[in-house]
Every structure is written in structure tokens, then in C-alpha cells.
Chain A
Amino acid sequence: MTPRRLLFSYEQKNSFLNSIDPISKLFWVVAIFICSLLTSHALPQLFILITIFLIGTFLAKISIKEYGLIVGLMGVFSVSFFIFQSLVIGGPTVLFRIGWLPFSAEGMDIAGTVALRGLTLVTAGRVFVGATNPRDFALALVQRLKVSYVFALMILMVLRYFPLFEEEYRELRDARFVRGIQETKGVRRIFNSMKDYGIPLLSRGLRRAETTSWALDSRAFRAFHQRTYMHEIGISKKGILFVLASAALMIIGLAMNYCI
């Protein structure tokens, strides 16, 4: 039995951000997204990014290693994008040249803004997901934002069945191994995988879907208009304070943007 973590790595931690309600965190992450999109200079964008890193590190106890592959890859992409765009965009104020290639202040500012924006969005998403229990988030959507419970359950079922899907894929791969089938490499492998694994996984999934739908009916799912909940998700005072404090920081960021 392989112990599994949830998709996109929510982790139960004793951190400030883990302890506040999902709706406050949702407001926070949406505010960051908006603020980041409104920012048109690299310096305030960097300020927002640093703020998120500090919040993630100190309030969500996320270590550098835990920011993980997605943030890491985004970092590499952002640097490449920055260099390429700086050259492409250009501008009158040339700061330096590498060989015959000119780097202008205007080009670097615009390219830096876009590159940092990408990194900001991904990092904020990582902090939010890492500190928010998906069950609590789904319940909060239903109980506080009046989203349909069917939609919330759909999200939960996708997360619930993902490890199972992964396990069944592994079982099929192992079964093919014991039959003496060697995995092909390269592009052909992708095509073969779709054919060899896709169809059995799909047919098994469809067969299971029938029982799942029967089992849902058997447990009175949607039998009545309303339903009760064992967990009530409220909006905490701590959460409101966090949103207000973050909003203040975002305002500083935006003010910097308009002062430049």
C-alpha cells in the first residue's frame, strides 16, 4: 500500500495559513492575481512576489524544497522569457550590450514584469493549495458562496479517484511487464501508451462509473433539496485580519507601480 499525498500537494501543517478559513485565503489569492495583473512595472511586481514568498515561508511554513518542481520550472521559464523578451522589445535607453545584442531599460522592465507575473501567479497558487484542505475549500464554496454541492462533490471525486487511476495504470503497466512486453521509447511510446493503457483504463472507469452512480443513488445523494453537513466552514476573524493586512501590502505595491 503506497501512502499518497493529494494532487498538487495540500499538506496538513500547524501553520497560520493552514489555520485560517478557505474563503479568506481565496480572497487573498484572487486579490494577488488582480494586483499582479494591474502592475505594469517590474519593481512592484518583484515586491508582490517577495511578499508571497515571505507569506509562504513564514505563515504557511513552506520550505524552499517544497515550492517544488512547478515553481522551479516556472522560475527557469521566467528567466529565459525575460532574456528573450528584453531583446525583442528593445527601447531607447540601452543599459548594456552582450556582444552586439542591446538590453534596454524599457525592454527589461516590460519583460521583467511579465516574467515575474507568471512566477507570482504560480507561487501564490502553490501557497494557497499547499495550505488549503480541498475538502474544506469545496465545503466553503457550497456553504459560503452558494456553489452547487454537485459541483463541489465533482471536484472531490476527481481528487479521490486520481490516486486510484494512477494505481490502475501501475497495475496495467506491471501486468504488461510480466507478459514480457517492453516499453517503447520516444514519441511512439506516447502513442502506444494511449492505445495500450487508455482503452483498458477507460473501459474499467466506465464500468466503475455505473456502480458509482448506483452507489450514489443508494446513499440518497440528491434525494432531498437540502442536505446537512458534519463540518461547518465559517469565516474566521484571523482570516479577515490576514486579508486586510495583505490588502495593505498590495496597495503599497500598486502605489509603487503608479509612482514609477
Chain B
Amino acid sequence: MDEKSPQTERVIQTNTIVEVKRLTYTYPKQETRILDDLSVNISANELVTLVGKTGSGKTTLALCLNGLIPHVVGGKVEGSVSIGGLSPLTERVGLMATVVGLAFQDPEAQLFNLYVEDELAFGCENLCVPREEISRRVKQFSELLGLSSFGKGLCSNLSTGQKHKVAIASIIAMKPKLLVLDEPLADLDPLSALDFLACIEKLKLKEDLAVLVMEHKIDDLAARADRIIVLDGGRIIANGHPREVLEEHGQYMFSHLGIRIPQIVELAIKLKGRGVSLKPLPLTPKEAFDVISRFHPHFISPPLEYPQEKGETELEIQELSFAYIHGGKEILKDVDLEIHSGEFVALVGANAAGKTTLAKNMVGLLKPDKGRVLLQGDDICKIPSASIVKRVGYVFQRPECQFVRETVQDDVSFSVDISKESHPESEKLAADLIERFGLKDHLNAPVDTLSRGQKRRLGIISMLTLGQRVIILDEPTTGQDWRATTTLMKLLKTLSKETCLTVIMVTHDMRVVAEWAERVLVMRQGEIRFDGRTKDLFADPSLLRESSLAVPPIVELSDLFCQNGASHCFPHLSIEEFVNSVEFDI
């Protein structure tokens, strides 16, 4: 342990904060190089986005930057790393904490204190910052990240998104020179994510900070980042200004790496296929509007949509109210709702709006305090649990908690065995689902070894094997790349069309909502504030704002054309819709 106060030890000699030279790393007892001859520099005041598919080496690089590799994790390291003049390969992790702040993906694992204010102060206390200064920083950074009202509250009472913010604020309060954030937006609702990015930008300038963000969704980051680095197989395949990287490698990143590139860039790639080359490559809807306008676009009317006949009522909710503590704050207030057979519904809203609570009431995991939930006409409180699970399936945000057997085959067989008597077709149904969901080659694989996307698909299979007609998915896209997300949505859509399966998904992902949902329920403070067609939701900006919902870039772009007098104006919800309805006078 060191005797000197760390405040005097920080030595920053140049504007370059991070210097990584020819870094190669292999995990203990493995032979494959996770990082392979990697060199990168990051300067103060620079926001760098690091992208790559799962397993490309992003988190490993982060661990190398603060010394957890090699001091704690071990393994074989070659090359050199310097952060603010200190080398994490030789200095202790504790000392590196004076210059590197690393926020991990799981917020639960990095909050150690009972109260929010103590958590914010924790790092500063360890660095021996004087008490008055700690109080000043706690106040400053909790205000900056919108946490002021939670200061005296318990960490365990926060939502996951809020916990993530607390962990990050606590690290920022230590005033590092390099801030490394591993998927910081994953648990935030769309507007909170935008606010958070704005805070990071402000902070970067104010504190002379170098920021490295690892994210799957870069729609909002691309326009804000100074640089994008693309990792593939432990090597940097692109490193430069977002516009240049996306122009040169966008197609490859999208189709080969499955990275969710900005929707506007995806649009530019699609239009290029139609002979319309957008130069310079737009990153934001405003930029796209300016570039596309030069080609004199005009929009043709969409084919008329006839209202579809409603199917049977699968779920009916009548005046439902719910509080976790008897007589306590109501999380759901007088919710009235009907969901029909074959509908594809998205349940959206800000963090803690009551979405998951409503979903759990729909499947009998929570019982209403007032009102009724009717499942296929029967009161859910009056039917046996065995019957509920045969009518409605629920896939958790972490589907692994649902697995009850060790291998894929055994886990699916478990459901088949339960339903054999009442549903003789279940074996055939399971085989069909395994084939459709692409798990046929993984039947003997242990469930732990599946990727996140495969786990999610297995979770869905086991929820449909009992012949359920309704499936509820809690945040089905969290932590998945765009390819896995699109595959999953396509499969669900096909099932919904072919078998009249009712799909209800609780999500923050507004791009998924726009592209796949036919009906949206918007929740705010326990009430349903909107229930209608997806198109109608995106035509109501004030409602979106009030409910902390963001507009996908393609919708924003089509709205810009509408505002500027384009004929046949209507919101385009997907790239395909936009591309199919636009014509150019070139």
C-alpha cells in the first residue's frame, strides 16, 4: 500500500491520455489472442466509441486499461500501455484508479453502500479527498446526472437505469483522466439515454476528460463521438472520425459484424443501392434531410391500410390497480385494456412507469389489488397456476433464470413432458420451434454456453411449447446486436402471422417498436397514456416527450420532410418504408 496522497501523484505530461502500443493479450490457460497487436491513442477532450460484436475484445481492452489485466485476471500481455503517464501493466490497480475510471456493465455489482450519497462519495473517500471537497463533488455530479433527489435514498430502491447512473457518477467524482463506460445506455429509457450522453459531452469538455464508450447501439453516439474504433477478433479494423469510418466500413460493420450502425447510415447504404449516393455521409436526420433534399425527393402515397378485423380477446384488463405494499404507492392505476389474438403489441414508457408490473399482472405473477385480469375470458386469480402457464408465456429480461435443465434438448423436453397429456402435439411443436429458431445444431449444448441471442430464443421456445397463445417478452433486445434482434423479431412476426400468436413486448428500444410493433401502449406513472397504432404514436411528439420516449432517426427524418412541405406526408417507421415511398428527380 502507498503512503502518499494520490492527489499529488497524478502526472499528466501531454494532451494524449491513452497510449496503447502493440498490445497483445491471451487469457490464462488459453491460446487464442483476445487482443492482437492493438495500438491506439486517445487524447483529453475526446469521446471515442468502441464497437465490435460480442467477444471481439472490447471488455478485455477496458480491463487492460485500468490494470485488472494482468494484475488480477492474469494472462499473457505483450506491448505497452500508458494512461496519464502511468502504466497499468506495472502499477497497482488502486493507483491506476487515480487516472482511469471504469464503469462495468452490471450496476448491481458496483454499488457497495446503502445510501446513494455514500456511493457517490466512496471513490473520493478512498482517494483521501478532503471532506468538504467530497461533499462539493457529490453535489456537483449528482446534479449533473439528475440524481439530486435520490441522495438520501437507498441504492436498493433505485431502478436499474438509476443504479447505472449512480455507479458512473461515483466514478466521475473521482475525477479520472480517462473514463471507460461499458454499455452505459443499456438500462436507460430513450430520453434518459440522450440526457446522459449530453452530460458526458459536457463533462468531457469541462473536466478535460478522455472518454471511451463501448456500446451496441450507436445511433445517438455516432454524431457525438469524435472517433469510432471498430474491433474485430481483437484487432482494430477501423479507427477514425465516425463519418469516415461509417462511410468506408458501414456496410461491413452492418452485414458482417452485425453491429447496429446508425439508422441514417443504413438508409444511406440502401439508397446507394438505388443509385443515390449521399455525400457527405449523413449521421443525423438533419444532415440526411439536407443531403437528400438536393436530389429533389417526392413521396408517393403508401398503399391504403385497411383496418384489420380484431381477433378473439386474449387478455382483458379491467380497472386494474396495484401497489407492492398494501396501502402504499400505486404502481398501476385503473388500467383498462383489451389485447386480441394475433396482435403484436409494444409496452413502452420511462424507467419505473409500471411496464413490468403490468406485464407481471398479465401472467399472474402479481395479483391485482383492485380490478381484474381476464385471460381468455377467465379471471386470472381464479384459475390454477398450471392452467395460466399453458395459456400465456413470459420471457424474462435474463432468460437464463428460466432454464431448469442443463442442455437445450433437456430444457425443451421438460416443457414437452409437462404438456404431453393436455397437448399431445407438443413434441412436434417443440421440434418445429427448435428448427425455426435455429437451435437444431445446439441440441446437446449446455444452456450456459449459448450466446445471449440463443438464450433468448431458447427462452421463447420453452415458453411456447405448452401451446401458449400469448407471449410476453421483457426487454427482448437488451444486450443483443442488431442481427440477433432482427432475427428474433422476424421469427416472432412470422409466428404471429401464421399461428395468431399474440406478442406483447416490454421495451425501451423505439427503433424496434417503430419497425415491428403494430400497436403501442404508452405507460406513464402507472397509467396507460396512449393505446393505438404505432404510426399514430410517432405523429404525437408532445406525448413522446412527456413519456420520455425518443423518435427513431428515420421517423425524425420523415417528419422533417413533412414540416418542409413534402407531399403525401406521413411518418415512415422503417428504412424500407422510406426507401419504397421516395422517388428522386435526379
Contact = CB atoms under 8 A, between A and B. Distances in A.
B126 A229 contact: no
Contacts of B167: 215
A157 B112 contact: yes
Interface in B360-390: 360, 363-365, 385-386, 389-390
B154 A212 contact: no
Contact of B1 (A134, A163, A223): A223
Contacts of B363: 178
Residue among A181, A214, A220, A227 with most chain B CB within 10 A: A220
A95 interface: no
Interface in A168-223: 171-172, 174-182, 200, 208, 211-223
Residue among B2, B95, B156 with most chain A CB within 10 A: B156
A208 B109 contact: yes
Given A208-B106, A214-B72, A220 B157 contact: no
B391 to A, nearest CB: 11
Given A135-B118, A175-B402, A225-B1, A212 B125 contact: no
B131 interface: yes
Contact of B134 (A172, A174, A175, A230): A230
A164 B156 contact: yes
Contact of A180 (B117, B154, B390): B390
B488 interface: no
Contact of B109 (A2, A212, A224, A232): A212
Contacts of A225: 1-3
Interface in B114-142: 114-115, 117-118, 121-131, 134-135, 138
A242 to B, nearest CB: 25
Contacts of A65: none
Contacts of B117: 230
Contacts of B364: 177
B297 interface: no
Contact of B401 (A2, A171, A214, A216): A171
Interface string A3-41: 110100000000000000000000000000000000000
B121 A226 contact: no
Nearest to B411: A179
Interface stretch (B96-104, B190-198, B433-441, B531-539): B96-104
B128 A228 contact: yes
Contacts of A212: 109-110, 112
Contacts of A227: 125-126, 128
Residue among A6, A160, A217, A218 with most chain B CB within 10 A: A218
Given A214-B104, A221-B94, A230-B125, A179 B156 contact: no
Contact of B389 (A1, A179, A218, A222): A179
Nearest to A171: B401
Nearest to A204: B401
Interface residues of B, number: 83
A211 B325 CA distance: 32
Given A156-B112, A157-B112, A179-B414, A220 B156 contact: no
Interface in B1-47: 1-6
B112 A178 contact: no
Contacts of A6: 114, 154
A24 B414 CA distance: 59
A170 to B, nearest CB: 9
A172 B401 contact: yes
A110 interface: no
A92 B144 CA distance: 77
Nearest to B170: A219
B390 A216 contact: no
Contacts of B104: 211, 214-215
A160 B329 CA distance: 23
B207 interface: no
A170 B504 CA distance: 22
A218 to B, nearest CB: 5
B138 A230 contact: yes
Given A180-B390, A230-B138, A232-B131, A218 B66 contact: yes
A224 B156 contact: no
A229 B135 CA distance: 10
Nearest to A209: B109
Contacts of A153: 112
A159 interface: yes
Contacts of A160: 111-114, 155-156
B174 A222 contact: no
A230 B135 contact: yes
Contacts of B6: 220, 223-224
Nearest 4 pairs between A and B by C-beta?
A223-B94, A215-B110, A220-B97, A211-B109
Given A3-B324, A228-B134, 14 more contacts: A1-B331, A4-B157, A171-B396, A178-B389, A179-B402, A214-B68, A216-B112, A219-B126, A220-B127, A223-B127, A224-B3, A227-B125, A229-B125, A229-B131
Interface of B: 1-6, 63, 66, 68, 72, 92-95, 97-98, 100-102, 104, 106, 108-115, 117-118, 121-131, 134-135, 138, 154-159, 167, 170-171, 174, 324-325, 328-329, 331, 352, 360, 363-365, 385-386, 389-390, 393-394, 396, 398, 401-402, 404, 414-415, 418-419, 462-463, 466
10 contacts: A4-B156, A6-B154, A156-B114, A159-B114, A215-B109, A217-B93, A220-B95, A223-B93, A225-B1, A228-B134
